[in-house]
Amino acid sequence: MKKLSSIVCLLAILLVVLPGPLYKWQLIELSTAFTGIRYGVFAAIAGLILLVVQAGFFRKSTYWPLFAISAVLAIVAVAMPLSIMSKAKSVPPIHDISTDVVTPPEFVAIAKLRADAPNPVEYAGPETAAQQLKAYPDLTTLRFKENTKHVIRVSIDSVKSLGWELVSADIENGIIEATDTTMWFGFKDDVVIRVIAKGDGSELDIRSKSRVGKSDLGKNAERINQFIAQLNTELSQL
């Protein structure tokens, strides 16, 4: 019994954790990855049931350190997907976020990189804008006293500091484009930053869009907030 429960719990955590890297390395399709995670949850539940039976009827032969490790693996295998599901329910099912939802910055250099992406390069539209404004009302155009060239330069530094891949920096037109790759599944989300002159200062808008998926689980809004925090930090140090 103890061997069976440990094997099932180990299988469960592998089915939950490995699909992300396997998809990232292009060894399996996304649908297969999600199927693996679903079966991992089922295996984890089965493993927990076996552990309960083991603790109730085979206490004398139970090796408790292994029992504890198996329980932790099974609990994690259940908790990770449930956490993702909870996050999905707490944010709108959108994947295109912009500080300017009326005239959002447009992708130029990145457009060709998204040619085969399920989510088109065009802005998602008024329905997405309405959901974003309700969920993330704090994401609005940024205004700075510094001139455009200064803000553009610091924005490029911020992009690099965040570890994003800088795709293009059109300083003359005030357009910066970059790609951020998520750690677990390796999803590629694209960012475009637009800086324009406003009086003696400048205005900055940033847009982040996922290449795949209907819902971004709040990742694009989180990414924009990270950039804003990094930009403000670097501007304050100059």
**pLDDT tens, residue by residue, 63-78:** 889 999 999 999 999 9
Burial 115-141 (b: 16+ CB within 10 A, else e): eeeebebebbeeebbebbeeebeebee
Q: Residue 237: its pLDDT value, please?
A: 85
Q: Above 90 in pLDDT, residue 184?
A: yes
Q: What is the pLDDT of residues 198-212, one digit of tens each?
A: 999 999 999 999 999
CA Rg value for the chain: 23
> What percent of the chain is predicted at pLDDT more than 70?
99
Please state which of the ranges 58-67, 141-150, 202-211 shows the lowest mean pLDDT: 58-67
Report pLDDT for 57: 86
pLDDT above 90 as % of the chain: 94
pLDDT value, residue 56:
87
Structural domain boundaries in the chain: 2-90, 96-236
The CATH number of the domain covering residues in 96-236: 3.30.530.50
- Residue at 100: amino acid letter: D
Where do runs of H (alpha helix) occur along 58-168? 64-90, 126-135, 148-161
* 3-state secondary structure (DSSP) of residue 10: helix
Task: Give the pLDDT confidence score for residue 123 in this predicted structure.
Answer: 97
* Residue 157 scores a pLDDT above 70: yes
Write the pLDDT tens digit of every residue in 15-42.
Answer: 999 999 999 999 999 999 999 999 999 9
pLDDT digits (tens, 9 = 90+) for 90-139: 999 999 999 999 999 999 999 999 999 999 999 999 999 999 999 999 99
**Which pLDDT belongs to residue 61?**
86
Nearest of 223, 226, 213 to residue 93 by alpha carbon? 213
Confidence of residue 1 (pLDDT cuts 50, 70, 90): low
- Given a cut of 80, whether residue 141 has pLDDT beyond it is yes
At 136, give phi and psi (nearest 5°): -130, 65
Global confidence as pTM: 0.91
